[in-house]
Amino acid sequence: MTSIKNKIDKLRKNILKYQYFYHTLDQSIVSDAEYDYLLHQLYNLESKNKELITLDSPTQKVGANLSNKFKKIKHFSPMLSLENTFDINGYLTFEKRIKKLINIERTMSLCCELKIDGIAISIIYEEGILVRAATRGDGFKGENVTANVRMIESIPLKLEGTDIPKRLEIRGEVFMLKSDFIKLNQKYNMNQNKSFSNPRNAAAGSLRHINPKITAKRKLRFSCYGCYFFAEDNQELTTHYKRLMKCLSWGLPVNKEIVLSSSYIEVIEFYKKFEKKRKSLEFDIDGIVIKVNSIELQNKLGFNTKSPRWAIAFKFFSAERITTLNDVKFQVGRTGSITPVAYFDPVYISGVMISKASLHNKSEIERLNLHVNDSVIICRSGDVIPKLLSVIQITRCNNAKKIIFPKFCPVCNTKLLENAEEKIIRCHAGLTCDAQKKKSLYHFFSKKSLYVIGLGPKIINELIQKGLVKNPIDFFYLKNFDLTKLQNVGNKKSINIINSIHECKKTTFKRFIYALGIPGVGETVSEKIANYFTKLDELMNADILKLNYIEGVGKIISNNIFNYFSIISNRDMVNELIIKVGIFWKDQDQYEFDMKKTYFFHKKIVLTGVFNSFSRMELKRILINLGAKILNNISQKTDCLIYGKNFGSKFFKAKNLNIKMINEEELKSLILLNSTK
Ligand code: 9MJ
């Protein structure tokens, strides 16, 4: 029990600290996802241990967001927060519940609005004149920000139009446009070396600035989302929508994206539309708000302790999830670089299940201070690449095991060395380290290198295990009986692989350079090097200065190339590949020129059926050598379908799409014609 109490105390202490930073100092020191997670943990613990609930627990309050900078004002009626849901079921439950409460089965008019991510305020107008404005504060009392609100251009100091009530309360959101936030941060950063973390924080900091003149300069905006009358005025304004339109007529800004809906289908449509559009909007939204449109029904439904029963926020998924870290494994790359990879319980983010994320380097491990079983926050950086953002330290167990970067290679046990300039820790064992050997050999014969069809990582691993290969040269001396010893390699497959190995000797200078796998020498750099040097000898004997002279080849890559060719065993291997094995290339321009002349150059080709004169693998190899791209499925983009006997559904699909079709006879003459060019 004491340990549960300690856990609860720790959670409360931290949540209150985060609330203080967020609401009082306008600083987010944790992400929304982490804050929500901690609050959720506290709810769970308290609901299982009700005797431990205290009145000052963050779960019992609307928000403890009052600073001493402003005088406090009591709201005429509580400014409650909205109930939240993140999924359609949550929304459907809300709809069902309200229908039950007001005892109706028929459809009901609902008002869908955007949920602007700003700061809620209440403004009181008397006889159409702005007399006071307050922040939400703790829901019951807010801060008197009248002087500051008067500085916001879009908030009228005097309402214009007809039927202006004696006293009127307007509620809405103060926010900042994304573009104004960027400009403000640039200025703020220059002058004070500080920055706001998001437009919401910037808006909060500007609205609650002690100097209203600063507020005036900060380009705050306002959007009205509710109004309340105090007397029996405006009886005819019977719906939320009509009221908002009236506010608009008085000169108050109301966001134009409002839709009246009568079924959940329209609500979902609205949600999906803005989930897609939210990035291109000028301001941040974090969901939509659905409100019962009839004021009479709103009054019937009333409030519970925390929120109105007649509204719900249907929030967009934050692109962050919290999960449990299971392990960190240290991968050895092709060039010996050691990359830590975090493995965690799978989480679903932006349509994809992810269970691992690269941690890049040692300093990232140190920054995160990871322990096994930690709760970790995962996102998809740029909405694509899995990233471990941070660790929730508060919920860590006392005896958790810390993740430590190894000192020795996890595969071959060689001492690891750090390259400070590149910030990379490497195992320098090269091809004697099994991990590097497997990856380097696979790289040497991969699609963008010398390309041997059918020589995948599985076969290469088996060849290494059986001691049949230890470097690229060995592959060129493999015999049929070597390959047929391997699992799932029959006579036909073996012959095809051997033929392809033989074929790959005819290559390009660029492909050969790339195949060597020198750190930093990717496809583009290989091309630049191949264009610069006319002969391999020149490259092998180039000094760092000369290498560095090539555009796109920096200091680090020049060093890597120079070091590579300084190692005698590498020079010997390259020479043997050229002189004994017989790898060769034509002048690169000539080669590309020859390729372009073939019928198949850059054509997207799909194969179907069985061919009399070729196996599938053979045919693929021939076509690729003639510049074709072989694809598995027919689409609008397919250039032609080559079909043999017993063709499948691809044939009919291609016919429907009017794609060019070639039979085996036509194919043979095309190959003959193009190969003699
Ligand atoms: C925002 N944030 O845009 C409400 N809100 O209604 C809208 N907030 C709200 N409505 C009642 N559109 C309480 C809060």
pLDDT tens-place string over residues 7-47 = 899 899 998 888 888 777 767 777 777 887 888 888 888 88
Residue 64 has pLDDT above 50, yes or no: no
CATH architecture under which domain 595-674 falls: 3-Layer(aba) Sandwich (3.40)
Average pLDDT over residues 641-649: 92
pLDDT value, residue 363: 87
CATH architecture under which domain 2-60 falls: Orthogonal Bundle (1.10)
- Percent of the chain clearing pLDDT 70 (strictly above): 94
pLDDT value, residue 677: 44
Least reliable range by pLDDT among 65-69, 179-183, 369-373, 492-496: 65-69
Residue 411 has pLDDT above 90, yes or no: yes
Strand partners, 344: 325
Strand partners, 378: 321, 388
Instruction: Give the count of alpha carbons within 13 A of 358, CB side only.
Output: 11
Least reliable range by pLDDT among 26-30, 271-275, 572-576: 26-30
Q: Rounded to an integer, what distance in angstroms lies between the CA atom of residue 575 and that of residue 536?
A: 10
Q: Is the CB of 311 under 6 A from ligand 1?
A: yes
Beta-strand runs (E) in 54-93: 72-74, 83-85
Q: Is the CB of 173 under 6 A from ligand 1?
A: yes
The CATH classification number of 430-503 equals 1.10.150.20
Residue 352 has pLDDT above 80, yes or no: no
Least reliable range by pLDDT among 209-213, 378-382, 497-501, 620-624: 378-382
Reading the block at residue 222, the tokens are 């306002």
Closest ligand 1 atom to 223 CA: 3
Q: Do domains 430-503 and 509-581 have the same CATH topology?
A: yes
Query: Distance from the CA of 233 to the center of ligand 1, in angstroms?
Result: 23
pLDDT value, residue 106: 82
Residue 48 has pLDDT above 90, yes or no: no
Query: Distance from the CA of 307 to the center of ligand 1, in angstroms?
Result: 11
Query: Distance from the CA of 289 to the center of ligand 1, in angstroms?
Result: 6
Query: Distance from the CA of 106 to the center of ligand 1, in angstroms?
Result: 26
Q: Is the CB of 226 under 6 A from ligand 1?
A: yes
Domain range summary for the chain, segments of one domain joined by +: 2-60, 73-315, 317-428, 430-503, 509-581, 595-674
Closest Cα to atom 1, ligand 1: which residue?
Answer: 115
What phi and psi values does residue 76 have, to the nearest 5 degrees? -65, -40
pTM > 0.85 = no
Q: Rounded to an integer, what distance in angstroms lies between the CA atom of residue 633 and that of residue 623?
A: 17
β-pairing verdict for 584-585 and 506-507: parallel
Residue 590 has pLDDT above 70, yes or no: no
Topology of domain 317-428, CATH: OB fold (Dihydrolipoamide Acetyltransferase, E2P) (2.40.50)
Q: H-helix or E-strand containing 149?
A: helix 146-149
Report the candidate in 162, 153, 78, 165 with the shortest Cα–Cα distance to residue 129: 165
Q: Determine the residue type at 80.
A: L
- The CATH number of domain 509-581 is 1.10.3710.10: no
The CATH classification number of 73-315 equals 3.30.470.30
Least reliable range by pLDDT among 58-62, 110-114, 551-555: 58-62
Closest ligand 1 atom to 117 CA: 2
Q: Is the CB of 137 under 6 A from ligand 1?
A: no
Q: What is the DSSP letter of 20?
A: I
Could you list the active site residues? Answer: 115
Question: In the predicted model, what is the mean pLDDT of the chain?
Answer: 89
Average pLDDT over residues 166-181: 95
Q: Is the CB of 172 under 6 A from ligand 1?
A: no
Residue 242 has pLDDT above 50, yes or no: yes
